[in-house]
């Protein structure tokens, strides 16, 4: 199934779930205070789990996600996950992206609804599984005409 088909399925599922009054599935985040290897207890608690890195922490099914850690120029918020598995995840979110027009310091923001696909998990140096790619499909084109975006995700915590 292609990304657009998966995105449509994810969107329809989210609409169906929210119109039936079912709460969105969310879970807390697993934080790591330093970039040092986690303790044995942390390794055991993350066994079988899959994470995404939100700049300086490992998170599972985040409600918010910072995509541009250096300048905060692209955030996802109000994330509703339709599925979360070790192979890929699907969800819907509000995307807020700096247009950097005329420059990033004084740019405006494109706010769109986006369908999310997280994929291509790898094992980190400390043994956790993390997603390495995100595909975004916007409900309408951004001000630069872009309607889809594919980004690499961090695979290690920021120092």
Total-model pTM? 0.71
Residue 157 lies in a domain: no
Residue 110 lies in a domain: yes
pLDDT in tens, 21-55: 333 333 343 333 333 444 444 445 555 799 999 98
Residue 121 lies in a domain: yes
- What is the span of the domain harbouring residue 104? 3-152
pLDDT in tens, 69-119: 888 899 999 999 999 999 999 999 999 999 988 888 888 999 999 999 999
Residue 158 lies in a domain: no
The kind and range of the H/E element at 3 are: helix 3-19
Tell me the H-state helices in 20-109: 40-46
Number of domains the chain contains: 1
Residue 159 lies in a domain: no
- How far is CA 13 from each of CA 20, 109, 154, rounded to the nearest angstrom? 11, 28, 28
Bond into 102 cis (ω within 30): yes
Bridge partners, residue 25, by sequence: 81
pLDDT in tens, 107-127: 899 999 999 999 999 999 889
- CB contact burial 35-73 (16+ within 10 A = b; e otherwise): eeebeeebeeebeebbbbbbebbbbbbbbebbbeeeeeb
Residue 42 lies in a domain: yes
């Amino acid at each position: 199934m292609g990304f657009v088909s998966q995105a449509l399925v994810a969107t329809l599922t989210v609409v169906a779930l929210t119109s039936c009054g079912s709460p969105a599935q969310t879970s807390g985040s697993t934080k790591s205070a330093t970039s040092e290897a986690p303790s044995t207890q942390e390794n055991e608690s993350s066994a079988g789990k899959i994470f995404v890195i939100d700049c300086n922490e490992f998170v599972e099914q985040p409600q918010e996600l910072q995509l541009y850690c250096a300048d905060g120029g692209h955030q996802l918020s109000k994330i509703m996950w339709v599925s979360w598995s070790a192979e890929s995840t699907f969800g819907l979110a509000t995307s807020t992206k700096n247009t950097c027009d005329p420059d990033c310091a004084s740019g405006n923001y494109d706010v769109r609804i986006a369908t999310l696909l997280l994929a291509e998990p790898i094992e980190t140096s400390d043994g956790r599984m993390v997603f390495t790619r995100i595909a975004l499909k916007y409900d309408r084109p951004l001000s630069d005409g872009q309607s889809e975006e594919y980004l690499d995700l961090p695979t290690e915590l920021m120092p």
